[in-house]
Amino acid sequence: MVTYLARRIGLGLLTIWAVSVLSFVIIQLPPGDFVSAYIAKLEVQGTAVSQAEANALRAQYGLDDPMVVQYAKWIVQVVQGNFGQSLDYARPVADVIGDRLWLTMVVTLAAILFTWVVALPIGIYSAVRQYSIGDYFFTFIGFFGLAVPTFLLALVLMYFSVVIFNASVGGLFSPEYVNAPWSLEKVWDLAKHMPIPAIVLGLAGTAELMRIMRANLLDELRKPYVMTARAKGLSERRVILKYPVRVALNPFASTIAFLFPQVVSGTIIVSLVLGLPTVGPVLLTALLSQDMFLAGTIVLLIGVMTVLGILVSDLVLVWLDPRIRLFGHD
Amino acid sequence: MSVVADNVEVPVAVAPSPPISATPGDERISVASQWQLMWWRFRRHKVAMAAAVVIALFYVVVVFADFLAYADPFASDSQKTLLPPQPIHLFDDGAFRPFVHPVIGVRDFTTFQRVYKEDTSRKMYLQLLARGNEYRLFGLIPANAHLIGLQGNPVEGNLFILGADLQGRDLWSRLVFSTQTSLTIGLVGVALSLFLGVLLGGISGYYGGIADTVIQRVIEVLWSIPAIPLWMGLAAAMPRDWSVIQVYLAITVILSLVGWMRLARVVRGRFLSLRNEDFVKAAELAGASTPRVIFVHMVPLFLSHIIAATTLALPLMIISETALSFLGLGLRPPAMSWGVLLQQAQNIQTVALSPWLMIAAVPVTIVILAFNFLGDGLRDAADPYGV
């Protein structure tokens, strides 16, 4: 077990390192650098910047160095827990994204929780009552949920909430709590704002998991051991929940690995529409202004969250299904 | 001679029995080719058939966009900004003769909003196959006929069946041209990722060894970067001064960069399972060249699966393009696509007052649903063990 975990964590670290290199390269791809983007912005506002000032800025941020040196400097800092300075905000990266990162994780977890809580019972219902009206209804909802891009769903939900309830659903906090220090009331306020983002983000995954759960359970229900259990006189609830559901849950767990990056990606684009204070909108502006330390850190952290999500899903899989031995015969 | 007579009689005997779900021993099924069987299975899938028809209709719109759009999609009119969809009156004096009233914009001096009123004193009649702005059908044949137009009146500035956008441009015409972009960008992207996926998946699966390890590790790393940041980074890297065509091509490349991995995995899996089959060994021992083994003996066995996987990859491409353009990272005006149209619907204040700006969400949803159903149907039909 320990060796297995160590190997997995080692592999994960390797992947994260590759992600960090790749993200750094991608962010550096646009022609020009932060200083030229910054100067262009100043010139739009009517401030001219001399060549000497530009050079001074470049020297200050170390943009003159070759990319390898820049990367080495940055990654050494990151390993020491210092994510560098955001060029755009002129503040440490950790300050800029600190709270937002936590909120991103909270929103992501809420969405995944929603997905599980909704998809599991509906999947079981659809399989046990195959071809009933409810099954058809949920199948339709499922396909619809898969087809509608999340940001469109967010847009439409927002439209209806404005038109019908005359309330804007944007944000994660009521205005009076946005800048307030953390307190129980603020947490409660956050919880009240959570349903819409969780539903918007979770719907596509819910639809997918619902279908998977239904298909798996249908396969299991046809197996002879279910008939044996029935013949022995077990109650219907026990027949279904005790064995087939447990076996059907197995691929359910392995899909968390896919669900996780999907939800994290979704958070980025949905946050822009719903105005959620997560890392998504910051990433977009950082990419556009070529603020590479900020953007690089965010992409790196998202990569870490993804790798962790996959690890967790593998561990859950082993825990659920004792037949799986990922770490040898011990 | 009796053989010929038998042959003549066969159609007569078969004709009155249309159901294909015949017994397995049925002669027709046992002699049918693989594709024939697939087609029969697919035809039973009613939803998939309907989806195929819907998609075909959308591609008709793509081909005849110039004819279906009645107005110049770039003709802006500052007097018609955010004009709501215009009601079409179907009957005039009891006879079926559709017409519209011209719309006049006035400023409401209490709210300072622009409000539009129908000028009921004038009528403009709709006409089929009306003359309008010049275009080249298929880029070749000069033409100026449009599906609908107004009798004796210029259509620009007068007819807005889906309303107008922020610049007073006709939303229907823009929607039609957007369909052209959004649906072709997916096709080009899928073609590219299919090429990459089959090539790299094929190498990985057929040769195995180091090539396989390297390609699989690359896929794993690319996979653990969530798609949207990857796209955002690449899209932000596009120079701002690129032309519409350059951006279009760059977007297809960016989309296919992420799309090829899934296809590569499918192809690799298939190659791995087939490589050790006896018939492949036999073909190799008989001296068949590698390309011949691959393309004549192996590919036909999983071609149907690839077609299904490609159909399921298309909606993802379309969603991605829409999302990127919506964020302002994809196609940019003057290019038109569903995502570009939706950009104007980003602002909730605008959307609350002019919900027709969200109209592009409707074709996006329909097309993606249709492609998903079609892909599902194809996958079921391609599965030889399906019921």
**pLDDT (average), residues A224-252:** 85
- Which of residues A246 and B225 earns the better pLDDT score? A246
Question: Hey, of A8, A22, A26, which one would you mutate to test binding to chain B, going by the most B CBs within 10 A of its CB?
Answer: A26
Among A191, A320, A203, residue whose Cα is nearest residue A259? A203
Do the Cβ atoms of A152 and B365 come within 8 Å?
yes
Q: Quick one: pLDDT at residue B18?
A: 46
pLDDT band at B53 (very low <50, low <70, confident <90, very high): very high
Our CA-based measurement puts residue B360 at a distance from the nearest CA of chain A, in whole angstroms, of 10
What does pLDDT average to over chain B?
Answer: 78
User: Measured between alpha carbons, how far is A141 from A147 in angstroms, rounded to an integer?
Assistant: 10
- Which of residues A24 and B341 earns the better pLDDT score? B341
- The helix/strand/coil state of B362 is helix
User: Measured between alpha carbons, how far is B53 from B241 in angstroms, rounded to an integer?
Assistant: 40
Share above pLDDT 90 across residues of chain B, in percent, rounded to a whole number:
3
Do the Cβ atoms of B221 and A302 come within 8 Å?
no
Q: pLDDT for B228-278, tens place per residue?
A: 677 777 777 777 777 777 888 888 888 887 778 878 887 888 788 788 888
Q: Quick one: pLDDT at residue B347?
A: 72
Q: Is the pLDDT of residue A230 over 80?
A: yes
Pairing of strands B124-137, A85-86: unpaired
pLDDT band at B57 (very low <50, low <70, confident <90, very high): very high
pLDDT band at B1 (very low <50, low <70, confident <90, very high): very low
User: What are the C-alpha distances in Å from B347 to residues A163, A215, B166?
Assistant: 14, 40, 12
Q: Is the pLDDT of residue B317 over 80?
A: yes
Q: Is the CB of residue A287 less than 8 Å away from at least one CB of chain B?
A: yes
Residue pair B373/B47 in contact (Cβ under 8 Å)? The answer is: yes
Chain A residues inside the 8 Å CB shell of B351: 155, 158-159, 162
Q: Quick one: pLDDT at residue B54?
A: 93
Our CA-based measurement puts residue B20 at a distance from the nearest CA of chain A, in whole angstroms, of 23
Our CA-based measurement puts residue A141 at a distance from the nearest CA of chain B, in whole angstroms, of 11
Q: pLDDT for B182-203, tens place per residue?
A: 888 888 888 888 888 888 888 8
Query: Could you report the predicted ipTM of this complex, rounded to two decimals?
Result: 0.71
Closest-CA residue in chain B for A142?
Answer: B369
Q: Is the CB of residue A154 less than 8 Å away from at least one CB of chain B?
A: no
Do the Cβ atoms of A23 and B225 come within 8 Å?
yes
Q: Quick one: pLDDT at residue B282?
A: 92
Q: Is the CB of residue B237 less than 8 Å away from at least one CB of chain A?
A: yes
Q: Is the pLDDT of residue B13 over 60?
A: no
Q: Is the CB of residue A23 less than 8 Å away from at least one CB of chain B?
A: yes
Q: pLDDT for B110-146, tens place per residue?
A: 777 777 877 777 777 777 777 777 777 777 777 777 8
Do the Cβ atoms of A29 and B372 come within 8 Å?
no
Q: pLDDT for A173-217, tens place per residue?
A: 777 777 777 778 888 888 877 888 888 888 878 888 888 888 888
Q: pLDDT for A43-95, tens place per residue?
A: 777 777 777 777 777 777 777 777 788 888 888 888 887 777 777 777 888 88
| CA dihedral of residues B155, B159, B162, B164 (deg, nearest 10) | 80
User: Measured between alpha carbons, how far is A199 from B102 in angstroms, rounded to an integer?
Assistant: 43
Chain B residues inside the 8 Å CB shell of A307: 224
Maximum C-alpha span of chain A = 88
**pLDDT (average), residues A240-269:** 74
| CA dihedral of residues A181, A187, A192, A195 (deg, nearest 10) | 110
Q: pLDDT for B327-341, tens place per residue?
A: 877 787 778 888 888
Chain B residues inside the 8 Å CB shell of A155: 342, 345-346, 351, 358, 361
Q: Quick one: pLDDT at residue A254?
A: 67
Q: Is the pLDDT of residue A143 over 50?
A: yes
Do the Cβ atoms of A159 and B358 come within 8 Å?
yes
**pLDDT (average), residues A121-148:** 85
Q: Is the pLDDT of residue B171 over 60?
A: yes
Residue type, B39: W
Q: Is the pLDDT of residue B7 over 50?
A: no
User: What are the C-alpha distances in Å from A198 to residues A173, A274, B301?
Assistant: 14, 12, 43
Q: Quick one: pLDDT at residue B226?
A: 64
Residues 6+ apart with CB under 8 A from A29: B233, B234, B237
Residue pair A312/A256 in contact (Cβ under 8 Å)? The answer is: yes
Q: Is the pLDDT of residue B12 over 50?
A: no
Chain B residues inside the 8 Å CB shell of A162: 348, 351-352
Neighbours of A70 (CB within 10 A): 20
**pLDDT (average), residues A30-35:** 69
Q: Is the pLDDT of residue A303 over 60?
A: yes
Do the Cβ atoms of A287 and B319 come within 8 Å?
no
pLDDT band at A251 (very low <50, low <70, confident <90, very high): low
Q: Is the pLDDT of residue B4 over 60?
A: no
Q: Quick one: pLDDT at residue B26?
A: 65
Q: Is the pLDDT of residue B10 over 80?
A: no
User: Which pairs with CB-CB distance under 8 Å and at least 24 residues apart come from B94-103?
Assistant: B97/B125, B98/B125, B98/B126, B99/B123, B99/B124, B99/B125, B99/B126, B100/B124, B100/B126, B100/B150, B100/B158, B100/B159, B102/B158, B103/B160
User: What are the C-alpha distances in Å from A217 to residues A212, A226, A319?
Assistant: 8, 11, 19
Chain B residues inside the 8 Å CB shell of A18: 221
Do the Cβ atoms of B358 and A155 come within 8 Å?
yes
Closest-CA residue in chain B for A163?
Answer: B352
Do the Cβ atoms of A29 and B319 come within 8 Å?
no
pLDDT band at B24 (very low <50, low <70, confident <90, very high): low
Our CA-based measurement puts residue B317 at a distance from the nearest CA of chain A, in whole angstroms, of 12
Closest-CA residue in chain B for A18?
Answer: B221
Do the Cβ atoms of B372 and A307 come within 8 Å?
no
The answer, yes or no, to whether the previous bond of B334 is cis (omega within 30 of 0) is yes
Q: Is the CB of residue B225 less than 8 Å away from at least one CB of chain A?
A: yes
Segment among A36-45, A184-193, A232-241, A291-300 with least mean pLDDT: A36-45
Closest-CA residue in chain A for B312?
Answer: A147
What does pLDDT average to over chain A?
Answer: 78
Q: Is the pLDDT of residue B14 over 70?
A: no
Cα of A306 vs its chain's centroid, Å: 8
Residues 6+ apart with CB under 8 A from B302: B266, B267, B270, B274
Question: Hey, of A23, A33, A152, which one would you mutate to test binding to chain B, going by the most B CBs within 10 A of its CB?
Answer: A152
Chain B residues inside the 8 Å CB shell of A272: 327
